[in-house]
Amino acid sequence: MIIDLDKKTHPFMSLSIKISTSPFGTMKERYIKRMRQMDSKSRIQTTLDAFNSIGATTDGMQRLAYTEEESRVHAVFSEFCVKENLQVRTDEAGNVIARREGRMKEAPAVAVGSHLDTVYSGGKYDGAGGVAAGIELIHRLNEKKVMTDYPIELIAFAGEESSRFGLATIGSKAMTGLLKAQDTKQFKDKDGISLETAMNTAGFPSSTLGQAVREKSAFHAFIELHIEQGRELERKGRKVAIATGIAAPTRLKVTVEGEAAHSGTTPMDIRRDALTSASRLVLDIEEAADQEKKYQTVATVGVFHVFPGAMNTIPGRVEFNVDIRGLDVSSKQRIIKAVKKKSRQLQTEKDVEVSFDLLRDEQPILLDENVQQLLAASCREVSVDPLFLPSGAGHDAMNMASICPTGLLFVPSYKGISHNPDEYTAAEDFVTGVDVLEQAVMKLAGAKEVKMSG
Ligand SMILES: [Zn+2]
């Protein structure tokens, strides 16, 4: 579906994008002139402000997957892209794909992009920052009249956040063939609306979802620029990080069975307290993860339930969940092994039963070494000393990595705050990110003729 900005082709009728055809050129020229008068920082800020004028609430940003807000922000994105002379289309999964042709026809694209949807009470930079960076990249190439061999694509992926349907990176999963039409029925939002229905309402029926799949041959490489959502860059005083991989979670449910008993009449030496044993295990998990620090593996207990949960009853059962993330599979396994060993000890010493259920065991995604090296070289060219980090969070890049060489660049997040209205990344930090991205894309896309416009 090619977006025709002169027609209301969008299913959400409240949406209208007005770019008049006459005087079309004049208006576009005015836009380009205005953008050229600005510096890179102001341009990025202008784009971000335009995105964040949609879905602003008293409690942060809210542009959930396949809602009117997401469609509206995609329309704003399309408008920026059209003004930068890109060919814009929306695919059958709702991803917006803006293309700048290269000299070689039919050549695979060098793609960049991120997402414009948010979580509930989200921030202004998660995803949106990367898309704004992509527009700035295109603006710079246009301004310098750079011609590339390979085409360049700027993609705004649909439905990256799992907040609405409990399923993350929906658009990039569809694009890479990892989401089938029948899968869209099982995911429902809190109002019971299925992903299938929501996509259908937004204009993307599941019957055509398969057409969003792109072949490996469509892409030469993909690079996503994203905010770090952690505080390593800030802690180390650096400006750019290159992700080495995406640390997929291994999740366990641990159940500790003791015996519920009267808290007043049961002497300390005969108790089978499930909570005190579970607490020891939680500390053991922390210690085991600490031992794996050099592999950057992390482990978290974020869910903890005590039964029966009464003031006057010794806890008879505790259930808790462990989330272990890292790029090194054996490092993750060592944590599990250490905790199981400790639990056998507890079973003997404290007379409790400990059982483990593996909820999820995903394979970490290692990002392309060559792209990492290319990004590192691009950093050096703009005098930036990059950090190499695993990404603890999932990104569209992990799906794209299944079909083409993929890179992931991080810029700093203030105090590591993310998925929160206080999320912040300075516009100048995005400028640095675009400086690196520009070098990398020029190399990947074969920018041979660079004529300065003067
Ligand atoms: Zn994101």
DSSP string for residues in 338-385 = HHHHHHHHHHHHH--EEEEEEEEEPPPEEPPHHHHHHHHHHHHHTT--
For residue 454, what pLDDT is reported? 36
Q: Where in the chain is the domain with CATH 3.30.70.360?
A: 249-361
Architecture of domain 24-246+365-449: 3-Layer(aba) Sandwich (3.40)
CB atoms inside a 10 Å sphere around CB 112: 28
Please report, for residues 252, 258, 261, 282, 336, the alpha-carbon distance to residue 315 in angstroms, rounded to integers and kept in the order given: 21, 7, 8, 16, 24
For residue 28, what pLDDT is reported? 82
Cα distance between residue 335 and residue 287, in whole Å = 9
For residue 27, what pLDDT is reported? 81
Q: Where in the chain is the domain with CATH 3.40.630.10?
A: 24-246+365-449
Q: Report the separation in Å between the CA atom of 203 and the middle of ligand 1, taken as the mean of its atom positions.
A: 23
Question: Where are the alpha helices (H) located in 392-426, listed in sequence order?
Answer: 396-400
Of 137, 222, 98, 225, nearest in space to 438 by CA:
137
Q: Report the separation in Å between the CA atom of 376 and the middle of ligand 1, taken as the mean of its atom positions.
A: 22
Q: Report the separation in Å between the CA atom of 224 and the middle of ligand 1, taken as the mean of its atom positions.
A: 10
Element (H, E) at 86: none
Note whether 399 and 431 are within 8 A (CB).
Answer: no
For residue 381, what pLDDT is reported? 96
44 strand-pairing partners: none
**Half-sphere exposure of residue 391: CA atoms within 13 angstroms, side-chain side:** 27
For residue 363, what pLDDT is reported? 87
Residue in the structure block whose two tokens are 């229905």: 197
**What does R_g of the chain's alpha carbons equal in angstroms?**
25
Q: Domain 249-361 has what CATH class?
A: alpha beta
For residue 30, what pLDDT is reported? 87
In the chain, which stretches have pLDDT less than 70?
Answer: 1-25, 448-454
Q: Report the separation in Å between the CA atom of 247 and the middle of ligand 1, taken as the mean of its atom positions.
A: 15
Cα distance between residue 17 and residue 5, in whole Å = 6
Q: Are strands 152-157 and 109-115 parallel, antiparallel or unpaired?
A: parallel
For residue 166, what pLDDT is reported? 87
Tokens, residue 110: 């060098």
Q: Report the separation in Å between the CA atom of 405 and the middle of ligand 1, taken as the mean of its atom positions.
A: 20
Q: Report the separation in Å between the CA atom of 226 and the middle of ligand 1, taken as the mean of its atom positions.
A: 7
For residue 23, what pLDDT is reported? 56
Q: Report the separation in Å between the CA atom of 372 and the middle of ligand 1, taken as the mean of its atom positions.
A: 20
Question: Where are the alpha helices (H) located in 14-118, listed in sequence order?
Answer: 24-37, 40-52, 68-83
